[in-house]
Amino acid sequence: MNWMRRIGFLLSITQSHGIARRYFVVNGFDGALTMLGMLTGFYVSGGVRPELAVSACLGAAIALGVSGVSSAYLSEAAERQKALRELEEAMMSRLDESAHGEAARLVPFAVALVNGLSPLLVSLIIIAPLGLAHTRYALTVDPLLGAIATAFGVIFLLGAFLGHVSRAQWIWTGLRAVLIAALTSLVIFAIG
């Protein structure tokens, strides 16, 4: 059994697939909205140099990633240990050497990675137009506007993914997420 299948098996026996998926979307949305907020703020204040915007956004993205990994690991490790002890009581035997023991040790890492990498990855995609501003891959539009448009695109995809998971109309769940992002931007414009 290769490690990917093994992790899949451990997520399955602990019923953690849903948790990982939820963390992916929730923290991805956090990352996307944070980036959108920062980018809109830069735009409202008259724009900044792309390098400065990249540094600021990257700093926030790294902080979101580290926060995601550490908070999810601590809470998941505690939850998995609790679940393992309860199962041990029901089974009346130690399960440290079983797949459940392995899951209690490894699943928190896997879920924490999803939780941390999701906002980091989403943020890197969103700030890509800024990072590429002075390269030959630069967009023809203002890089700040390009990054804001990318943020809306990513937010739509996250919403659509939720719709796909819940077997609802993905286009509506995507648009609903975009509406939340648009409201956020409007508030920033209003107070900016």
Distances (CA, A) of 168 to 62, 81, 160, 165, 181: 33, 35, 9, 8, 20
14 binds other proteins (CB under 8 A): yes
CB-based contact 154:61 (threshold 8 Å): no
Listed ranges 59-67, 91-99, 116-124, 142-150: which one lies at the site for other proteins (CB under 8 A): 91-99
Can you read off the two tokens belonging to residue 96?
Answer: 């440290």
- Give whichever of 9 and 109 is closer to other proteins, judged by the CB atom: 9
The footprint of other proteins on this chain (CB under 8 A) covers a number of residues equal to: 16
86 binds other proteins (CB under 8 A): yes
Q: Which of 97, 140, 190, 191: binder of other proteins (CB under 8 A)?
A: 97
16 binds other proteins (CB under 8 A): no
Minimum separation from the CB atom of position 74 to other proteins (A):
24
DSSP-derived secondary structure for 52-70: HHHHHHHHHHHHHHHHHHH
Interacting residues of 105 by C-beta distance below 8 A, sequence separation 6+: 80
106 binds other proteins (CB under 8 A): no
Listed ranges 57-65, 83-91, 124-132, 133-141: which one lies at the site for other proteins (CB under 8 A): 83-91
Can you read off the two tokens belonging to residue 103?
Answer: 């899951």
Whole-number Å distance between alpha carbons of 70 and 183: 30
Applying CB under 8 A, the residues found at the interface with other proteins are 9, 12-15, 86-87, 90-93, 95, 97-100
